Amino acid sequence: MALVAATTPANADSPDAEPMPIRMSQIGFLPGGPKRAILPDPAPAPIPWRLLDRAGAPVASGMSGPAIDDAASGETVHVIDFSTASATGDGFVLEAGGARSRPFAIAPNLFGRLPFDALNIFYQSRASTPIEARYAGGDAWARPAGHAPDRAACISGRDADGNVWGGCPYTLDASRGWYDAGDHGKYLVNGGIAVWTLLNLWERAHSLGRPAPFPDGSARLPEAGNGVDDLLDEARWEVEFMLAMQVPAGTHLRLPVGETRSRPGLRFTEIDASGMAHHKIADARWTALPTPPQDDRETRLLYPPSTGATLNLAAVAAQCARIWRTIDAAFSARCLDAARRAYAAAKRNPEIHSIAAFTGSGGYGDDDFSDEFFWAAAELYATTGEPSYGEDLRASRWFAAPIAEPEWRHTATLGAMTLALAPDRLPPPDRAALRGRIVAAADRFLGEEQQSGYRIPFAGTDYVWGSNAVLLNRAMLMALADDFTGEARYRAGVFDVMDYLLGRNPLDRSFISGYGARPMANPHHRFWAHSLDPRLPPPPPGLVSGGPNSVSLRADAVGAALAGHCAPQMCWRDDIRAFSMNEVAINWNAPLVWVSTWLAEPPPTPLASRARQRIR
C-alpha cells in the first residue's frame, strides 16, 4: 500500500554478490527435475555449452536453443537445457559463450525449508500478539504486540470528496489477523484470498491423498503441539479476524449504493447491513517509514461494509466450516453460520462498493462482484450440498467460463478449484469438464512459455503490480494440471516459475529473501526496515517481492525515475521506497507457500502418475 517520503537507504539495491551473465536458479536443481539456464548473447546461432563438476571435468554438453529476441527483457537470449544431466552433488559450473555460472548444486530436498520459511512470514505478520524470537527465527525479528486490542469505531464525518459519513452504532474488536503488506492495514478482500490459498493447500492434499503439508509440530508456531495441523493453526488466526468484522444483527447503516468510485455528492441510502462484513480496519493516515506495529499511534478506523468483503467472508467461512467440521465442531458451526448470514446479506445488498476517499490505507475497490458471488456459492455448495447454492453457482456465467489465474479482484477461479477437488458435489461429467478447463488454462500458460525468452508462463510485456504473484498463481493451476493428468510438462512449468523467482531473470536477482546469491533484501515494509534504521531487522527468509512493474511505475519516486528507461522485466529495484515494485503482501506469499510446498513433495512415481490420471 502507499507511502511516504523516507531517507535514501544506504544499501538499497546493492547485493553482496556480483551479477553473473548466465541466469539460473540460485539455489540449484533437483536431480530429476528440469534444469534450464538463460544466456543473454547477441549471437544468432546456437551456442555450445558444457557442464563441469567440482573438479572441472565435463559431465554434460550440448548446444543452446536458437537466439530469441525477447521484448520483456530487452535482450537476445539463448536457452540452455541440461535436464538430461544425471550427475549429483555441488560445485557444478555451467560454461557457455565464454561465460561461467556461479557454482551450484544438483541435489534432492532443495525446497525443504522454503515452505516453512514462507509460512512463517504469516506468523511474523500477526497483529495483536507478541512475535517471539523462538518462533520467528531469532531475536532480530521479535517485537511486542501491535494493535492489541485492535478495536475501532466506524468512519464518520467528512471525507476528502466532501461526503459526510454517519458512522455506525457500535465498535468492533477486530484483533488478530495478518497485516496486509508493508503497512498496518487489515483488509478482508486481500486477507480472504490469502487465507483461502493456505486452506486450499490443505484441502488439495486431503482430497488427493497426499501427505499433510504442515503436520502438527512441524512449523514454528505457538500453537504447534495442539493436535491440529500447523497450517490450519496459522490460517485460523486470520479467519478469527474475518469473523470479527461481521456487522451485528439488526444493524441499519447509511451507505452509498451502486457507487463504484470516489466522487463528491454520493447518494446515501439506509440499508439493512446485518451480516455484511466491514471492508477493512486501518489507520486514519499513513504512518512513516519505518514504524514498527507497536509504535503505531494513528487512529484506527473501521471502514464501511462492502459487498466484496461480505462475499470474501462468506466464501472463507464456508471453507472453514467443512475443514474444521471434524477438528473443532463448535468453530465449524460458527463459521457456517457466519457464511450463511454473509451470503444472504450480499444477495440483499449486491452493489455496496468500497469508496477510496480516505488516506491511510489501500482502497481495494472492485466494480464487478459476479465472480465473488460464484466463489461464495461454490464454497457454500461444497460445504453443505444445499440445492439453493448449487442453483446459484450454475446460474453464474463463471460456471462454464475459461479459467484464469486468480487474484483478489478476480476470484471465480477459487470456486472452480474448490469444486474441482471436492469429491462428491458435482456430477462426474461436470467435475471432469471443470478439471479439463483447469488443464486448458495450464496449456495456455505453457504456450506462452514458448514466446518468452526467459521461459516463463507469461508472454506479455505488461508487468503489473505484483507480477510475481501472477506467475505463482499460474503455477498453482499448472500444479493442479499435473495432479489431474500426471503429465510432466506441467510440473516443468511450475519449476520454470520458481526458477525465475530464484534468479533466472534478466536482473540475476532472487526475488525471495534469504534464498540465493543475490536475494531481495529491502522490501517496502515498516518493520523489516534495516536500510532505514539499523536497529530494525532485514526481512526474514521466505518473503517474496511483488516483482517487476512496468505498468504503474510512476506510483513512487523510485519507479518514476525508471519510467521510460527499463524493459518490462527490468523495472524493479530492491529499495524500501519502491512500493510499486518491492512491496510484499500476504496474498503474494500465500501462493509461494502453496507452490513451494507442492514442489517439496516427493516426485511422483509412475504408479502415482497413473493414479492421478484416474482422478481426472
For residues 254 and 166, the answer to whether their CB atoms sit within 8 Å is yes
Amino acid identity, residue 300? R
Give the burial class of 190: count Cβ atoms within 10 A of its Cβ; 0-12 exposed, 13-18 middle, 19 or more buried. buried
Distance CA 532, CA 538 (A): 10
Question: Is residue 496 annotated as part of the catalytic site, yes or no?
Answer: no
Catalytic residue at 574? yes
- Distance from CA of residue 469 to its chain's centroid? 5
CB-based burial label for 460 (10 Å; 0-12, 13-18, 19+): middle
CA distance 407 to 430: 24
Helix axes 467-485, 586-600, angle to 10 degrees: 30
Q: Which of 184, 278, 524, 530 is catalytic?
A: 524
Q: At what angle do helices 586-600 and 488-501 cross, to 10 degrees?
A: 130
Alpha helix stretches (DSSP H) within 209-328: 230-244, 307-323
Task: Mark whether 147 is an active-site residue.
Answer: no
Residue type, 292: P
Q: Report how far apart, in Å, the C-alpha atoms of 175 and of each of 172, 337, 572 are.
A: 9, 20, 34
Q: What is the 3-state secondary structure (H, E, C) of 387-446?
A: HHHHHHHHHCCCCCCCCCCCECCECHHHHHHHHHHCCCCCCHHHHHHHHHHHHHHHHHHH
Q: Exposed e or buried b for every residue in 476-513, given b needs 16+ CB within 10 A? A: bbbbbbbbbbbbeebbbbbbbbbbbbbbbbbbbbbbbb
**Crossing angle for the helix pair 488-501 and 428-449, to the nearest 10 degrees:** 50
C-alpha of 319 from chain center: 18
Cβ atoms of 200 and 208 closer than 8 Å:
no
Q: Active-site residue among 180, 238, 574, 575?
A: 574
One of 117, 183, 449, 556 is an active-site residue; which one?
183
Residue 342, H or E segment: helix 329-348
Rg (CA), the chain: 24
- What is the C-alpha separation between 288 and 150, in angstroms, rounded? 20
Among 41, 238, 392, 583, the one annotated catalytic? 583
91 Cβ contact list (under 8 Å, min separation 6): 53, 54, 103, 105
Q: What is residue 343's three-state secondary structure?
A: helix
- On whether the CB atoms of residues 178 and 237 are closer than 8 A, the answer is yes
Provide the b/e sequence for 313-324 (b: ≥16 CB within 10 Å). Answer: bbbbbbbbbbbb
- CA dist 466 and 193 (Å) reads 14
Query: What one-letter code names the amino acid at 213?
Result: P
Active-site positions?
Answer: 183, 524, 574, 583
